Amino acid sequence: MDEIIKIQISKFLTDEYVRQIAQKQWRTDAPQWVNRSRQYIFDEIMNDNDCFGIVATASDGNVIGRIHFVRNESDPRLWYYGDLFVVPEYRRKGIASQMIHAAIDHLAELGAAALRCYVDPKNTPSRNLQLSVGFLEKSFEPFNGFINDGEIMYEVQVPNNLTIIPATEDEAYFVRVLFVQNKEALHSGNISMNEWKEALSANDTDEKHFLICKGAVPVAYMKINGLDSKKEAWISMLFVAKDFHRQGIGTFAIEYAEEYVRERGFSTLAIQTDEDNLPAQTCCLQCGFRVYGNGSKITLRKTL
């Protein structure tokens, strides 16, 4: 029977793990080598950056592999991995692939968009590994000040794990909670649970309501208006849960809205935001919208 390998994800490795890593990766448990693993994590945390580790252990609990992951300082949706090793007796058994796939699943939950690594051109096994798990060779780009020593850059897209479902009266609870979190930014008065239930159950042909979900969990709400006009449709409301900002959810929702109204014969989609809602304006501009008119409300349009 094949041995059961355990894959663990943790930002804070145990003391036993860092000692085993030093012994197995660098063949010494001298303090300076044990502290090398500590420092990988310590430096990122002290610089207000995110990171985590993947550790593979055998059935006896001993470490047989590890990888370290770091978030990009300027683009929080971009991550890097390095310091991958698997002990010799467990190589060519798919351990590295298991660790990378577990990390990609975890990064999808974190809202990451891409994972990158850099490989020595002479390291054929590593280059083959990247290709086998879906990485593509890309033109070199720096990462957090890393210096290019002639390495090859590989990158893989991280699945966004997002879906969109209709928001009906049955989902009023989710919409209400998301709204309360964003009420101040929306400059909106209170909308009660009963008012949301009424709006979501109205069956108004001119508007549609949607929940954007991460997995099964609602993380954003969007309303599209103007569907009876056949001239110009509007995203009249879009808000994202506070802990899920800057994860591409707004962009995903807007792209869905574009396709939704295009399929219904619209050639223009418009959005109106408050003058001080700079994140929403930035998101729209990055999606190809153009500003039409200024004032307390900013109107943006896109020709589809």
Asked, for residue 288, whether it belongs to a domain, the answer is yes
Domain residue limits at 59: 6-157
Q: Which residue has the tokens 């850059």?
A: 153
Is the pLDDT assigned to residue 1 strictly greater than 60? no
Asked, for residue 297, whether it belongs to a domain, the answer is yes
Q: 248 and 223: one domain? A: yes
Residues near 231 by beta carbon (within 8 Å), at least 6 away in sequence = 266, 268
What is the percent of the chain with per-residue pLDDT over 90, rounded to a whole number? 78
| Per-residue tokens: 46 | 């002290």
Q: 166 and 148: one domain? A: no
Is the pLDDT assigned to residue 92 strictly greater than 80? yes
Residues near 192 by beta carbon (within 8 Å), at least 6 away in sequence = 176
Asked, for residue 222, whether it belongs to a domain, the answer is yes
Q: 256 and 278: one domain? A: yes
| First CA to last CA distance, the chain | 57
The dihedral sign for the CA sequence 164, 185, 108, 110: negative
160-174, 208-222, 227-241, 285-299: range with lowest mean pLDDT:
285-299
pLDDT of residue 147: 79
Count of the separate structural domains present in the chain: 2
Pairing of strands 152-157, 162-166: unpaired
> How many Å apart are CA 134 and CA 161, to the nearest integer?
17
Q: 204 and 240: one domain? A: yes
Q: 126 and 171: one domain? A: no
Q: 135 and 216: one domain? A: no
pLDDT of residue 231: 85
Summary mean pLDDT of the chain: 93
Q: 66 and 140: one domain? A: yes
> How many Å apart are CA 291 and CA 1, to the nearest integer?
63
Region 228-238 average pLDDT = 92
